[in-house]
Chains A and B, each alone.
Chain A
């Protein structure tokens, strides 16, 4: 994975120097990197299984499902729009349907797993920890949602936002905020008892939220293009997801 990551970084360094190749090269790189977590999990699917009683299996399977949907989103964006039609930054597009839908299993899995651990260890959690975790996660969620929405509005420069884009923008902003609230709350309150796999997923989701913020900022400033450096954050989230799935091998007895 480290080798792949070094290659990806070198490629991004190259395309940010030779910008005219950025669209094509990033469209090649994205599906490849998005495929890694999908493929990494396949050998473990049977071992993990799926049982509603076993919340770890719910977490892993829903995360994998979400990442598979994101992989399809990358295929549509990169192969269909970027490489077949030559369109950079297709928005709104069919790819957005996949990007948005993927949030739902991911948020569901993270919530169900976190809640099951929380229920088990609730007596050990102090009121102070609970209040601090709740306030911090909600405040962060509100800040991120507000910042993102503000940048979305700015990017339209006073023009009315088309209905489909309004719905998509609201979904992206809202779902990112919900994701952040859940992850921060669970990390702050439940902490190490969540396990390494969950922590890696949390890092991955954090990277996505940060990337979406930078994406919105770049959109406002007009500096956005396919192949921008900031995409490394999105690619890193796939690599961290792959590391999380790979980590499952250490749990196998």
Chain B
């Protein structure tokens, strides 16, 4: 590729990226969340989780948003949940659809949640360490409506939910990410690397570099 072609591409690219980073604030919203939308997950142990978005008051990133969900998970929980992610008045929580379709809890301002947890029906709150793959991490452990929840402090992933010490559901369900995506990525890396190396090899004109 000629350097001037690269330059034109880069200018175009930088411009698009800059423009988009500005407009993204207004236009991105919160993907996948719409009023009246129903989410449903069936976990590997057969537990079904349903989530209805009842209303959304504000979708801009600046003010975050206010959602009312109806959550129903067989044997786990069923209630309406009011979530205000930006306000200083409410700090919890609840199920949240993310870009990858993974189920999470949102923990907003855990230190204040500690002070006000009883307002949300949480009887106790604690921190525990656990292993997340290769990393030692911290989880927030709290009791809610007789169930114990473990939520990763940093990522908000729900790690586990227990009822009287028995694990009733494991909601960290990586099935939401298609496993073949990983396989596709590995195959593409091998394929594209091979093509790139082959093209580079073909362009070799011979021995060593003389003109440096």
Contact = CB atoms under 8 A, between A and B. Distances in A.
Q: Is B truly associated with A?
A: yes
Contact of A233 (B7, B17, B174, B208): B17
Interface in A9-41: 9, 16, 19-20, 22-24, 27-28, 31-32, 35-36, 38-41
Interface residues of A, number: 75
A227 interface: yes
B6 A24 contact: no
A117 to B, nearest CB: 11
A79 interface: yes
A230 B20 contact: yes
Interface stretch (A85-93, A136-144, A147-155, A166-174): A85-93
A143 B113 CA distance: 38
Interface stretch (B8-16, B73-81, B114-122): B8-16
A42 B193 CA distance: 10
Contacts of A38: 193
Interface stretch (B45-53, B98-106, B139-147, B162-170): B98-106
B73 to A, nearest CB: 18
A227 B13 contact: no
Nearest to A157: B109
B156 to A, nearest CB: 10
A86 B174 contact: yes
A85 B173 CA distance: 9
B13 A232 contact: yes
Contacts of A227: 99
Given A252-B206, A252-B208, A88 B193 contact: no
B185 A83 contact: yes
Interface stretch (A43-51, A123-131, A179-187): A43-51
Given A35-B192, A42-B197, A233-B13, A28 B99 contact: no
Interface of A: 1-2, 4-5, 9, 16, 19-20, 22-24, 27-28, 31-32, 35-36, 38-44, 47-49, 54, 56, 78-80, 82-88, 90, 93-94, 195-196, 199-200, 203, 207, 210-211, 214, 217-218, 221-223, 225-230, 232-233, 236, 240, 242-243, 245-246, 248-249, 251-253
